[in-house]
Amino acid sequence: MSPIRIGLVGVGKIARDQHLPVIAANADYELAAVASRHGRVEGVPNFADLAALLANATDVDAISLCTPPQARHALARQALEAGKHVMLEKPPGATLTEVYDLIDLAREKGLALLATWHSRYAPAVEPAKAWLAGKKLLRVHISWKEDVRYWHPGQEWIWAPGGLGVFDPGINALSIITHMLPNALIVDKATLEVPANRQAPIAATLEMHDHQGLPVRAEFDWRQTGPQTWDIIIETDQGTLTLSRGGAVMSINGVPQIEQKEQEYANLYALFARLVAERRVDADLAPLRIVADAYMTGRWVRVEDFVE
């Protein structure tokens, strides 16, 4: 089979760190063109925007969207309308409705659509899921605490409406836990701490349960200096499983298990190649729904200004 001719839109940090090297290393893909307002990639045609890319690089098969979520719906529709398969960075949109709209359109056109959740492909996620099978789950605690100044310097879009604030990293934890647990997580109570000079939360606490009564608590905080924490702790009747470093490491009762190589984006592009071959949609909105549920049922608390 000839490689998938892919066009990439939005040459920013995540595109350079992950998408471009992974595409270059995967023989199933050929980078055919890029579109970006500021970024450039050598060796392929560069366009100012997706419309120009679609008008000129007409033999592109698929589009990978690495732009901020707020503008993603219009771009994804444009690509699907032009008959291109589409891969969406996370979160797949600024609203739920727009992603459901894309799912409907992709199905109607028989095109592949992938709403990516890269953290689900962290090395320890599948081994952890396998270890949990058959055990009785007692309690889940998620602690996702990082320094926004270090990880998101100058990224104004994460603070703008639709940028989700601390849920932007937090949704990675939710994407892991919704993949690992057997049942849907219902938000009972949420607190959103919003800086007085911003419109998005800098910290959030979610208390959830599933229909079997499993308590799941998540703490997201962007004000963490010093040690950074991306941990999920699952207590079972046969010991405690800890996923740390965002799913990179698994420990059982405090004893680290074998560490595997990180290849989140390599796995995402491998999955997308299969979806393109089968013209299939893979768009699980469970993580974004939980965020929406937290906004809808949560208590807003004003906290001190955030100044970068």
What residues are labeled active site?
90
Which residue(s) pair with 47 in the sheet? 35
Least gap, CB of 244 to its own copies (angstroms): 26
Alpha-carbon distance 298 to 43, whole Å? 48
The yes or no reply on residue 297 touching its own copies (CB under 8 A) is: yes
Cα distances (Å, whole numbers) of residue 30 to 21, 24, 40, 126, 143: 12, 7, 17, 29, 39
Going by C-alpha positions, the residue among 242, 193, 185, 175 that lies closest to residue 216 is 185
Least gap, CB of 184 to its own copies (angstroms): 4
The yes or no reply on residue 77 touching its own copies (CB under 8 A) is: yes
Going by C-alpha positions, the residue among 14, 13, 20 that lies closest to residue 41 is 20
At which residue do the structure tokens 């270890």 appear? 131
The yes or no reply on residue 150 touching its own copies (CB under 8 A) is: no
Q: CB under 8 Å to 225, separation ≥6 — which residues?
A: 147
Binding mask 246-285 for its own copies (x = CB under 8 A): ----------------------------------------
Alpha-carbon distance 269 to 278, whole Å? 14
Least gap, CB of 289 to its own copies (angstroms): 5
The yes or no reply on residue 101 touching its own copies (CB under 8 A) is: yes
Residue of the chain from 128, 142, 185, 216 that contacts its own copies (CB under 8 A): 185
Residue of the chain from 21, 83, 110, 161 that contacts its own copies (CB under 8 A): 161
- Are the CB atoms for 236 and 226 separated by under 8 Å? no
Looking at 44-52, 145-153, 215-223, 296-304, which segment touches its own copies (CB under 8 A)? 296-304
Binding mask 18-57 for its own copies (x = CB under 8 A): ----------------------------------------
Residue among 165 and 246 whose Cβ is closer to its own copies: 165
Alpha-carbon distance 196 to 240, whole Å? 39
CA atoms within 13 A on the CB side of 115: 25
* Chain residues 214-243 in contact with its own copies, contact rule CB under 8 A: none
Interacting residues toward its own copies by CB under 8 A: 73-74, 77, 94-98, 100-101, 104, 161-162, 164, 183-187, 189-190, 194, 199, 211, 286, 289-293, 295-300
